[in-house]
Amino acid sequence: MMSDKIRLLIWNENEDEKRFPDTLKIYPGGIHGVLESFLKDDFAVKVATWDQDDTHGLSDEVLDHTDVLIWYSHLRNEIPKATLEKLVTRVFDGMGVIFLHSGALLSFANILLGPSSRRGAYREQGELERLWVINRAHPITDGVPDHFEVQQSEMYPEPRDIPTPDDLIFISWFEGGEVLRSGYTYIRGAGKVFCFLPGHSTFPVYYQPEIQTVIKNGVRWCAPLKKPPIQSRSGEVDFDYRTIAHNI
Ligand code: ZN
């Protein structure tokens, strides 16, 4: 019997792991390794990395079997444009995406969501971050306390120039006094997108239970809805948003 679990592809650039000994100390199996370890019981998980093959682990065959993609990128922005455009099309067709940490500010996210930039300087000194739920009705906050703390985090400050999110879920406060929109969502076509900023490759953020709960909830929320067949004037047709748009 086929599993009805959500099919999750965890994609990690896997570059911090090569350049920074501290990253491997904290994440010996890579950031993708720790993500896989807490997600594999709930979802049908596959892992891919930039360096694994010519397609960077993002072949059509793999994407054909992906409901939700988790994306962690930081240092490399050389993913071929054709691949990024392919990913964007997949999202518009219904594939969910979770952008983690710096992944929310770089190439794929910028092409999908619109450009973003940071005005203030970031601080990478392991300071305390307190996340506040500001949308208690959103399923991504299910089982998450009203606020919780990450003991060692990297600080990104507001104002950040990002496309206005469709829904704001978390705001963070940092020990240095800054605040940040740290969890927010977008709808793009038939696809759902969740950006979750806490992270950084040299801090053990992804071992924290609250963070893991948010990411699991995010995968469930981002999963594509079951699309009914559309009844057109001339009879039943396959559901394809782009075709339909052109035919109207
Ligand atoms: Zn970082």
Q: 73 C-alpha to center of ligand 1: Å?
A: 10
pLDDT in tens, 232-247: 565 554 555 444 444 4
Question: What is residue 226's predicted lDDT score, i.e. its pLDDT?
Answer: 80
**Residue 208 near residue 198 (C-beta atoms within 8 A):** no
76 Cβ contact list (under 8 Å, min separation 6): 13, 15, 50
Question: What is residue 106's predicted lDDT score, i.e. its pLDDT?
Answer: 87
**Residue 8 near residue 46 (C-beta atoms within 8 A):** yes
**Residue 46 near residue 10 (C-beta atoms within 8 A):** yes
For the entire predicted model, the pTM comes to: 0.91
Kindly tell me if the per-residue pLDDT of 228 is higher than 80. no
pLDDT in tens, 120-131: 889 999 999 999
Q: 20 C-alpha to center of ligand 1: Å?
A: 12
Q: 101 C-alpha to center of ligand 1: Å?
A: 7
Q: 227 C-alpha to center of ligand 1: Å?
A: 37
DSSP-derived 3-state class of residue 7: strand
Q: 217 C-alpha to center of ligand 1: Å?
A: 22
Q: 123 C-alpha to center of ligand 1: Å?
A: 9
pLDDT in tens, 23-75: 999 999 999 999 999 999 999 999 999 999 999 999 999 999 999 999 999 98
Kindly tell me if the per-residue pLDDT of 166 is higher than 70. yes
Q: 53 C-alpha to center of ligand 1: Å?
A: 25
Question: What is residue 245's predicted lDDT score, i.e. its pLDDT?
Answer: 46
